[in-house]
Every structure is written in C-alpha cells, then in structure tokens.
Amino acid sequence: MKKLISAALMLAASLTATAQGYDPVVSQYDPTGNSVQQYSIPKPTGGANGLLMYDGTAKLQFLATLDSKLVLSGTTLTLDLSAYTTSAALASTLASYATTSALTSGLAAKFNAPAGTTAQYIRGDGSLATLPASGSGTVTSVGLTSSTLSVIGSPVTTSGTMTVNLPNAGTAGTYSSVTTDPQGRVTAGTTRSFASPSRALSSCFQISATRDALVSYAVDVTTTVTLGGAPEGAAFLRTYTNSACSAGQVGVISGSSGQPTTLTVSVGQQIRGSVNLYGVVAAGTWARIETASTGTGTAPTFAIRAEQQEVQL
C-alpha cells in the first residue's frame, strides 16, 4: 500500500512540475481515501475550450479539448451543424434531377415493351427480324493426323464412335523395379526392403511370394576332436517349391567346417568354426537352412548365428 501511495504522489508531483499559467488545479483523495492531493492539469492548447473528465485507468483528472463543432457560450454547450447540408437545401439541390415518374415517362416512347418472339433478333436500327433457318447436314469424316496416334472409327456419321489408340512403346511386363503396360506407361513399382529376421535351423520359411531375396546366414559348427576321429559339419541353403520343403529341391549354396584329420594322441578338444551361406532365394519359393555331419567321430553341433535378407526390386 505504501508503494501505491508513493506512486500516486510521484505522478501528481510530475503533473504539477510541468504546470503553466492558467493551468487548473484539481483535488482528489489519495488511494487510501485518508488525505486529499492537489495537482495541476494542462489546459487545452491554442485557446480551445475544454471539458473536465476522469481517466479511470490512470485514476486522474484531465481536460479534454472540445471539437470545433461544440461551441461553449457562457455555461451553454451547443453543437454547431451549420457546415452540414439541411434537409431544405438537399431538397433544393435534388429538384433539378428527374423523378422516377418523369424518367419512366421520358423513356416510354424510346424503349417500348418487347413484342417479338424467340425466333427473332434486333437489328442495329432497332427493328425486329426473324432468325434465318439453321443449316442441316451430315458429318462424313472426322480425321486426326499424328505420327504417334492412330484413329479408329472415321468416317463418323450422325452416330458412331472414334477411338484413339496409343502405339506400343515397349513390351508389357514386370521389370526389376516397375510394371509397365504395352504403351510404356508405368502401372506399378516396388522398392527394396531390408530385414534381419530370426531363423531356425531345418525350418521351412518363405521370404516373398513375388520378389527375389538376397540372403546371408552364418551357421556355427562346433566339433570335438578325439583320437581316431575326423569330425566335420556342413550347412546347406536349399529352396523348395512347397511350404513343407519336400518337393522341388534346389541347392543355393553350402559350406563345411571341422577337423577332417585323425589325431595320433589322446586329446579331447572342442573347435568351433563358421559356415557363411550367401545366395538368392527365388520369388515364390520356400527356403530351409539344413545341416549334416560329414566326417567321422563325434557328430558336431550346429547353431545359427546371424541372419540377414534383402528383398530385391
């Protein structure tokens, strides 16, 4: 509250500090309502009349300058409308213009009501004339000349059709990334897709029914070297024509890992190798990663370690 009172006193002091001769001095209560403050307010400039008003936002009084149309005579305030046209003067000004009735009467002899028919038209001199009969005939030919287009159906009579054929610009079919029609227009397209799915050994799976896939698999082969044995394991990537992977077998790639030699000392040691299988799985086929023991001695164990595939365009 002390800050609010101080602010009001400072504002009043600033108004008083700029006071000039004949500036009015007004009084009003401070924000607490406990004391009365006095301050001067600027008078209108140029000898103009003013009206004492109160600014609700600033909480201060001020003199509003009266417009020249507001004439102060003694204690009477009058609105001066002498500069505006009176109703009598306006009526006098419009008296020289024709009334609606006079305008209608003046045009009556010049633009009579139309008396023609829908088959007539108005000549340049204003007179009516009958439209000439429209011609009749039969269309005997509609032609089109183009080095790249051919037209079927010409000549065309009162009824008929005309077909525009696009010439063949290629061989219709599905290519590595787009499908076209015989006119060479692209009707569909594909994009490559990349994935790293989880695969299990000896399980049958299909990557895409419509697109070839480039694949990469890594199979770990763990063998135990013993006296008198030559352990070795092989991994195969094969494709089939059915979902059970029982028909139409095609070998894609294979590889082996192990110790195809016989030890001469009694040693028991496990050795792990890896077979990397890279190849293309044809669209619409089923694939399977298969394993087999191809050596002697203790059979190796197999585990798939990495999988990667990319469906081609």
pTM, entire model: 0.41
Q: How many C-beta atoms surround the C-beta of residue 220 within 10 A?
A: 18
The residues, ordered by sequence, that sit 6+ positions from 255 with a Cβ below 8 Å of its Cβ are 234, 235, 275, 276, 277
Burial-class residue 255 by CB neighbours within 10 Å (0-12, 13-18, 19+).
Answer: middle
Confidence of residue 203 (pLDDT cuts 50, 70, 90): very high
3 state SS of 150: strand
Mean pLDDT of 150-156: 57
Residue 59 has pLDDT above 80, yes or no: yes
pLDDT of residue 192: 79
Over residues 98-136, the pLDDT tens digits come to 788 877 777 665 556 667 778 888 888 777 888 888 888
Q: How many C-beta atoms surround the C-beta of residue 135 within 10 A?
A: 5
**CB 276, CB 216: distance < 8 Å:** yes
SS3 content of the chain, % helix, strand, coil (to 5): 10, 40, 50
CA-wise closest residue to 151 among 161, 165, 171: 165
Calculate the CA dihedral of residues 131, 132, 134, 137 and round it to 10 degrees: 180
Rounded CA-CA distance 117/92 in Å is 46
DSSP 255-296: EEEE--S-BSS---EEEEEEEEEEEEEPTT-EEEEEEEE-SS
More confident site: 217 or 11 = 217
- Read off the tokens for 303: 């585990």
Domains of the chain are 2-68 (no CATH), 193-311 (2.60.120.40)
**CB 51, CB 64: distance < 8 Å:** yes
Rounded CA-CA distance 36/182 in Å is 100
Lowest mean pLDDT among 243-247, 268-272, 282-286, 302-306: 268-272
Over residues 277-308, the pLDDT tens digits come to 888 888 889 888 888 888 777 788 888 877 77
pLDDT of residue 7: 47
Confidence of residue 241 (pLDDT cuts 50, 70, 90): very high
pLDDT of residue 150: 59
Residue 1 has pLDDT above 50, yes or no: no
DSSP 202-268: T--B-S-SSS-EEEEEEEEEEEEE-BT---EEEEEEEEESSTTS-SS-EEEEEEEEE--S-BSS---
Mean pLDDT of 204-222: 90
pLDDT of residue 161: 60
The DSSP call for residue 88 is H
Mean pLDDT of 253-263: 74
Rounded CA-CA distance 44/139 in Å is 90
Confidence of residue 247 (pLDDT cuts 50, 70, 90): very high
